[in-house]
Amino acid sequence: MLLRLFCILVVACSISACGGGGDSSGGSTPPSEPMVFNLFTDQSSYYLEEESETLLQVTSSRSDDDLGFSISNDAYVSFEIVTQSDNSITLRIKSQQVDRPRLANLRVTASLGDEQTYLDLYFSINNTSATALVADVTTLITSEGGKAAFEELADVADYYLKMAYYSKQITASERENITGQLSATSVLSVNQIEEDYASYLEGDISDVELNNLYLSALEHFNVSAAGFWNLLEAVQAELAGALPEIDAFSLQVDSTLQQVSFFIGNPSFGSSHDAQWVFLEQYDFLGALLPNVPGFGGQCLADSSSFSANSSQAL
């Protein structure tokens, strides 16, 4: 009897160890997986002018009446919820006024029960109010340190110098000496203003600061050109009014004409019409002297000077 009872207990333990005695489903139900959903839009980055608006829609991969949306704040863009449905939200984004290029970020978060997901939206904001300044700065930067402007100065000064020589107002040795002084003037470096502009694009300095640095760069150009003007004034004095007096000594940057010049863009010498520069009548001879005058027709020097045709041809 005891042996039979012992055998029954052994068999029962064996059945239990083998997983017997459970239900016919093959085991307990595993826990449910977390609900996964995503947000998407047609693009994740946007370009905005300052104080402008755009509409954009953020859509969820799940639709549910309980789906909720929240949006973070940013100093350079504001938002307004225009419409919201069970799987999307439409936003009106407005950029603020800025004093330099700015980057902004809004995070759109969607919640459904205990689950959340988010999408980051990025905005590049252009400082529209500084468009003219940026155009002038980039024109100056691409001018190779005002190389053409200083070459123009040399051409004009040399022309006046030749006129003084051929009219016997100066000697050959005086002409040679002044010519040597003209060739000694060097072109300025634009490295500093180029670095300043890069800092502006990075948002490290404001448009006001960039403008001040730009004006400072122009002043350096004008100071560097002082030697030309001093020589030119001296030669003009020798000519005693035989050629029009040139006394407006200021570097001009004209982004429309893509010119950096002491003459082109200077209202003392002419004006711009339909992307062409037109010299005042008394300075029309400069158009033939200067190599890069937009729209100039190439009038002969002899037509504009008070010297004889023979003297002009001798140049």
Q: What angle do CA 285, 266, 224 make, to 5 degrees?
A: 95
Domain regions of the chain by residue span: 39-126, 130-313
Percent of the chain with pLDDT over 70: 77
Look up the CATH number of domain 39-126. 2.60.40.10
In this prediction, residue 80 carries a pLDDT of 95
Q: Which of 261, 263, 271, 224 is nearest to 247 (CA)?
A: 263
pLDDT along the chain (315 residues), means of 10: 45 46 50 68 91 95 92 94 94 94 94 92 93 92 79 81 80 76 62 91 94 90 78 76 76 87 87 85 85 55 36 38
Q: How far is CA 315 from CA 4, 162, 233, 245, 302, in A?
A: 137, 7, 21, 20, 11
Strand partners, 168: none
Distance CA 81, CA 99 (A): 27
Q: Where are the alpha helices (DSSP H) in 253-303?
A: 285-289
